[in-house]
Amino acid sequence: MERRIIHIDMDAFYAQVEQRDNPEYRGRPIIVGGKSESRGVVATASYEARKFGVHSAMPTKQAYKLCPDGIYVRPRFDTYKAVSKKIMDIFLSYTEIVEPLSLDEAYLDITHLVSRERSAQSIALDIQRDIFDVTKLTSSSGISYNRYLAKIASGMNKPAGTTVIHYDNVQDILFGLDIGDFPGVGRVTEEKMKSLDIHTGKDLYEWEEKALVQHFGKKGTSLHQKARGIGTSELKVERIRKSIGKETTFHYDINDDDEILKVIEELSAKVGDKLELQQYAGKVVTVKMKTSDYATHSRQMMANNPIFTEAEIYHYAYSLYHELKDPDVPIRLIGVTVSQLSDRTYRNLTIYDFM
């Protein structure tokens, strides 16, 4: 099955959060990483600071020499982690096949979402829009058929860009790429390659695998493949979603069946939408409620066949609610969950599904 991989990379993440939270920082060079006289290093530099040559991992003292009028701030990792959690939740609302690389970037496998009616690029744009709507931060995305090409693509049109690498343009892009921009080529490897007159992807392409292995060991095989657009599409996923659910906490204790059932119907629709988006179906429906005395109760029912539509979910949730609800006890929370999930569809995709 041909994969469709998106690499999402937040734009100057830490610095952008600082500019969002401090309006007076907007449009000014922001360097996150501590005081200029410290021995620290730059964690992130805003795009305004990058114009002065400041970049991540640079000693802060050196950054100060390049940009003495910049605003130097200490990182607020608790804040960055909280924002990152919101971004990760957005990723997981699209697909469970997510491999986070850091607080500000991740790979997503969206193969199961792509169709003739919905391209990989349109999905990436939807994700970027959702990130901005929730966090007011911009991101860049790269789309391709393997991991490393998606990562290259996400860096090509920053900030707030979207780039697709497919079979028709991959070789042109790789030929023009500086050798240091290939993922996995660090400073030491880059220097060695340039000493061998390998400066671009085109130069690398012209080398035989045997010669690359001779100079770079096992890494030579990987370099030979990367010059030809060959790489793995498998993501390292630690979390596998076992259920999809939604719940609502009322502003006041409620005991009106019609009003509660209306909310259950809305929750069933939201769960159904998520199942549809992620192409899942489930066999177990659970209704949870919290009563006015803060006691939590739940009950579940197994369907004969996997379900995913709003009507099917509400059918079971309606019955479970009436089994669970004490007519004399108000509630303050109601929730609907579908579990024992399985994939609904598998598709073989073509190059046209990118665009």
Q: Which residues are catalytic?
A: 105
What is the number of H-type helices and E-type strands within the chain? 13, 12
Cα–Cα dist 129/11, whole Å: 14
Tokens of 152: 């290259």
The answer to whether 343 is annotated as binding is no
Alpha-carbon distance of 200 to 219, in angstroms, equals 17
- Determine contact, residues 120/140, Cβ cutoff 8 Å: no
Radius of gyration in angstroms for the set of CA atoms belonging to the chain, rounded to a whole number: 25
Rounded Cα–Cα distance for residues 164 and 145 (Å): 10
Distance CA 205, CA 179 (A): 11
Give the residue from 86, 113, 101, 104 showing the smallest Cα distance to 279: 113
Beta strands (DSSP E) in the chain are: 5-10, 30-32, 44-45, 71-73, 98-102, 105-109, 139-144, 162-164, 243-254, 280-291, 296-307, 331-343
- Residues contacting residue 149 through CB under 8 Å, at least 6 positions apart: 5, 142, 165, 170, 229, 231
Confirm or deny that 104 is annotated as ligand binding: yes
- Amino acid present at 333: L
Q: Which residues are known binding-site members?
A: 9, 104
Q: Which residues are known binding-site members for Mg(2+)?
A: 9, 104
